[in-house]
Amino acid sequence: MQDRRWWLTAALSGALVVIAGAFAAHALEGQLTPRLAAAFETGVRYQAWHTLALLAVLAWRSSARLPGQRLAMGLWAAGIALFSGSLYAMALSGVTRLGIITPIGGTLMIGGWLALAAAILRAPPRG
């Protein structure tokens, strides 16, 4: 299985989404300011959506391997780490300066979507 590491990445990211969401709903309830709670929830939401995107591209790769798919997945994975990771760290530590990292992660996520668009545009037409 050539994409084993990517499948593992998506599976672990999915598990972390559930863990982080449950942690926020139970352990952090009432412990964070509304602003930090919202930041944590935003991190969970963006990680969830990009984990689903990873899974979708991995499924697509099983029938059509295109240049740019792996780049998109790599950018999303890095974006999850920086975007969601910085929001989690900021919310849990209260160090709001960590928020300076968040836009870098967001830019990587956008880059992943643009890489995916480029892969689609370069793909030969089917059927």
3-class state of residue 29 by DSSP: coil
Q: Residue 127: what pLDDT? A: 65
Q: Residue 48: what pLDDT? A: 98
Q: Residue 126: what pLDDT? A: 74
Q: Residue 50: what pLDDT? A: 98
Own/partner pairs, 95-103, CB within 8 angstroms, 24+ separation: 99/39
Does the pTM surpass 0.85? The reply is yes
Q: Residue 7: what pLDDT? A: 96
Series of mean pLDDT values for 10-residue runs along the chain (127 residues): 90 97 91 93 98 96 90 98 98 94 98 96 81
Q: Positive or negative, the Cα torsion across 51, 9, 15, 66?
A: positive
